[in-house]
Structure 1
Amino acid sequence: MTEDHTHVQEFFTARAANWDARFPDDGPAYDAAADALALHPGDAVLDAGCGTGRALSALRAAVGPQGTVVGVDLTGAMLEAAVRAGRHREGMLLLADVARLPLRSGALDAVFAAGLISHLSRPGPDLAELARVVRPGGRLALFHPIGRAALAARHGRRITDDDVRAEPNLRPLLARSGWRLDQYTDGDDRFLALAVRTA
């Protein structure tokens, strides 16, 4: 395990028990972002870095009972919180690293990733691994319930030009990783980048 992974696990383990209570009003934003993936009944979708599983219900509703929903997270305490919240009933939860997914190539129709990209130690290879498990034409939603400026302000920081989520940085990064950026929104109320898996 890398030092970055250890830091991420320590950060989220310490906050897992109270994570949902800290952000009680984010549900509608998660639902809207999941809707943006334009999933169909029977589709297979991954919630990458699913945390406490707050998107799983919306993803399950979109793919229906015949669809497949998988939530993957690096931090066991977050998955335990998801189980306590009953969200394991919406999909299969796996303790795994998004950099090495235990899924076969092209198995999925879409990936939902809330707050994930800023925690990736190697964004290019990690986004390529997400591309590996998605069929050509499948979709990726990189989401955060508030925009970059609001999030930076929350943490007492400023947005910098090297922010991986900035469109001029994200577009070529996705392109090199097997994705085409299709839609980009960075407002006060949400960050949402939608991309399509290239052939």
Structure 2
Amino acid sequence: MTRILIADDYDVVRTGLRAILSGQSGWVVVAEAEDGRQAVDLAVETQPDVAILDCQLPVLNGVDATREIRSCQPRTEVLIFTMQESEPLLRELLEAGARGYLLKSDARQFLIAAVAALAQHKPFFTGGVSETLLTAYLSRGPAGDGALTARERSVVQLIAEGHSNRAAAQILGVSQKTVEGHRAAAMRKAKVNSTAHLVRYAVRTRVVEP
């Protein structure tokens, strides 16, 4: 029996995935989550074989949720299900422990194959993503000085979602001073000087969805 967790903030997406996956012999969807924190909690509770995570989950994004799930449930493989095809994001997700990356535009053709591969602890990346990864690792170039780190992206996401520095610190499990430091670094890299401009930056760069 292959146990699957689905995490996406859109109910229609979760419903569609559940319908497809539940139709496979020996597969069962054991939990559904609306945000990253809920996804981590449910992964600990239900111990799925495969967790399918949207990359832009609210509260705790896909990168941080992946990192926490892989830390507390190392037997759970993570498949990132997203509309984004970004070299820096791919690097962050691989470092966080994700072993699968599926573009939503490729879901009809590759979803079953992706989950089947991860259930056997094999990596899965669609063709376009594989080419992006190959190009990135062959170049071996570090992210540019203006690129946000994974933690800076997490802080920016939470600020853009309306959380205070204190609330963001509680969600991420760090001190408020640490959040303030990451926020300041992100604002410096984004070349903005107000929260409103930082929110616009987050939307423009797809740290959060508009």
Structure with greater contact order relative to length (CA < 8 Å, sep ≥ 6): 1
Choose between structure 1 and 2: higher helix proportion. Answer: 2
Q: Scaled by the length of structure 1, what TM-score is found?
A: 0.40
Q: Scaled by the length of structure 2, what TM-score is found?
A: 0.39
Larger gyration radius, structure 1 or structure 2: 2
